[in-house]
Each structure stands twice: as structure tokens, then as C-alpha cells.
Structure 1
Amino acid sequence: MIFKKFLSTILLGLALSIGLFFGVGQPSIAAVPSPIFMVGVKVATVAEVSPNVELEVDRFLTSIPVSYYTIATVEDLKSQLGKPQTVLVDVREPFEYRSGHIPNAINIPLRTLAHNLNQIPRNLPVVLYCSSGYRSAMGVMTLHVLGYENVQGFPPSFTAWQAAGEAIASR
């Protein structure tokens, strides 16, 4: 019960942190409550819902390994993929994967990641990528929360792979 509450607190804090990080400076209808829909409704802050959320988010963020995003270039990814046991996971949607992907990548859309953990080994290197780095970052963080220590992201993602003129597979 305590672990479940801890995990939900971490995931809530993580989702809010990611949303705030990527939403800074961006207009958002969620950023300002609409007076039409919010009349007489008190909106609770995250701190009010869980007073320890800042502590738990801090604990999670400081637990992320220093090598969290070490695959920073296409050349580094090619080097990693030269190791035969590396599992490459494309976390984009199936239609994106079918339109072209890095060869030998398996497709596990981010929204289905938790339902497909059986395809993600804990004892082999795993690299996640998407089209821009956003979904792969969420996937790496999610897997770290779930106890995976062998997962890295490729933030340059498919866009950089394609721009470098590397081979593209399709189904």
C-alpha cells in the first residue's frame, strides 16, 4: 500500500514536472483555469494533495544515474547497436513505426509501455527513441521508476538518424 502510494506520487510528480518543463513559455488552456468552468470550484495544488510530493520528486530525480542520456549522437547509437545484445525500442505510435524506423527496433508505443514490460529485458542494454526525444525521455524515466537500470534514451531520436542519412527500415 505504501509503495503503491509512493509510486503514484512519483508518477504524478514526474508527469507534472515534464509538463511544466516542456510547457514553459507555451500557451496552454490547462495553464489558466477557465472562469466559466471553475466558478465556485477550488482547485487543489499538488502540494495540497500530497504534501511530500516535492521530497519524493527530488528523491526520484536524484536517483537518476549520471549516464541517463549518454547516447547523444548518431555515431554513439551506431556504436551501441554494434553490440549484439542491445535492444532498441521505438516508443512512437505504430503508424509512425510503419512509415520508417531504425533497423532492428521493436515497436512499443509509450502509452503501452507498462503493458509490454515482458519485451524489455532487465539484463541487457535497452535504448529508447521516438521522433523528437520527448516520448523516449518519458519512457526512460518510467522504466527507471519501475526498477530498470539498463535503459538509456537517444534524445536526437529518429529525426537525427534520418537526417544523418542512415538506413531506414519499414514494414
Structure 2
Amino acid sequence: MMFKNFFSTILLGLALSIGLFFGVGQPSIAAAPSSAFMVGVKLAAVAKVSPKGELEVDRFLTSMPSGYYTIANVEGLKKLLEDPQTVLVDVREPSEYRSGHIPNAINIPLRTLTHNLDKIVGDRPVVLYCSSGYRSAMGVMTLHLLGYENVQGFPPSFAGWQAAGEAIASK
């Protein structure tokens, strides 16, 4: 029962984060896509935050190491990419990926991440990135909740890679 409450709380947080993400820059929450908003509403109706649930979330959050599974700079990512076993995942939408991406990255949009777990190898380093770091952080959290301990995010993101003057690939 405790796991169910914990999982419901996490799903609620993800749904609300997604709703907030799509609502950023919009005149009101009514402008957010109705499906994302309705998912949040449905989860809010079933997920009651209990003291045990709060305790489990607190345990999860305090178990995160310093740096929260991140590669802090372009040099760190380049060093990790020297290992040919590293899987680099661009979690942006396909149109964003096609307009330019970090070389050798595969495209798995965040919204399809759980449908593509077969591409997330459990025994090799996996790095997620997006445009600004927001979607990759959500992806890292999701994969860690699913038991993947080999996943890191690259918060400097594609914008940081590009600003450093690194090579950009396109398809």
C-alpha cells in the first residue's frame, strides 16, 4: 500500500509538472492542453498525500547524490562520450532533433520514453538532454523511479553544447 501511495504521489507530481510545462507562457491554465490538465485532475482525485507518502518522497529526494545525476558541463559530456558504450538520448520532439542535435544521439521524445525502454540499456551509461534541461530532468527522474541507476542528465542541454561551439548533426 505504501508503494501505491508513493507511486501515485510521483505520478501526480509528473502530471502537474507536465501541465505546468505546457502552460508556461500561456495566458491561463485553461490554455494548457486539456489531456495534460485532465490527467492532473484525475490523479489529484485519486492520489491522497498521506504522511507515509510524504515520507517515501522525502526518502527518494534525500537519496539523490550531490549533482542529482548530472553532467555539469560540455567537457564532462565529451569525456563520457569517449566511451563508445555511452548512449546519448535527445528527449526533444522529432522536429527539434531533425533541426540539429548532438552527434550520435538517438531521439526518444520525453512523451514516448516509457514506450521505448528497450532502447535504454541498463548496463551502459545513458545520458539524456533536451533544449533547456527541463525535459531531460523529468526523463532522468522517471527512469530512476523505474529502477535505472545508469542514467544521467546533461543540464547545459543542446543550447549549452551549441553555445560552446561544438559540432551539430542534422538528419
TM-score normalised by structure 2 residue count:
0.78
- 8 Å contact 1:100–1:169 — kept in the other structure? yes
- 8 Å contact 1:13–1:57 — kept in the other structure? no
Structure 2 match to 1:159: 159
In structure 2, relative to structure 1, the CA distance for the partners of 1:142 and 1:28 (3 Å cut) is farther
Structure 2 match to 1:128: 128
Structure 1 match to 2:104: 104
Indicate the structure with greater helix content. 2
1:67 Cα shift?
A: 4.7
3-state DSSP class of the match of 1:13?
Answer: helix
Correspondence list, 1:12-51, <5 A: 12-13=12-13, 16=16, 29-30=28-29, 49-51=48-50
Q: Distance in 2 between matches of 1:100 and 1:135?
A: 17
- 8 Å contact 2:126–2:151 — kept in the other structure? yes
In structure 2, relative to structure 1, the CA distance for the partners of 1:50 and 1:102 (3 Å cut) is same
Structure 2 match to 1:11: 11
- The structure with the largest alpha-carbon Rg is 1
3-state DSSP class of the match of 1:128?
Answer: strand
1:151 Cα shift?
A: 0.5
Amino acid at match of 2:131: S
RMSD: 3.0
Structure 2 match to 1:38: none
3-state DSSP class of the match of 1:127?
Answer: strand
In structure 2, relative to structure 1, the CA distance for the partners of 1:148 and 1:28 (3 Å cut) is farther
Structure 2 match to 1:34: none
Summarize deviations over 1:9-55 as a string: whole Å, max 9, x none.
22323555x57x98xxx89734xxxxxxxxxxxxxx78x82323422
- 8 Å contact 1:143–1:151 — kept in the other structure? yes
3-state DSSP class of the match of 2:143?
Answer: helix
Summarize deviations over 1:49-108 as a string: whole Å, max 9, x none.
232342232122122233534411111110010111000000000000000000000000
* Alignment coverage as a number of residue pairs: 157
3-state DSSP class of the match of 1:49?
Answer: coil
Q: Distance in 2 between matches of 1:27 and 1:79?
A: 39
Unaligned runs of 5+ residues in structure 1 are 31-44
Q: Distance in 2 between matches of 1:4 and 1:28?
A: 35
Unaligned runs of 5+ residues in structure 2 are 30-43
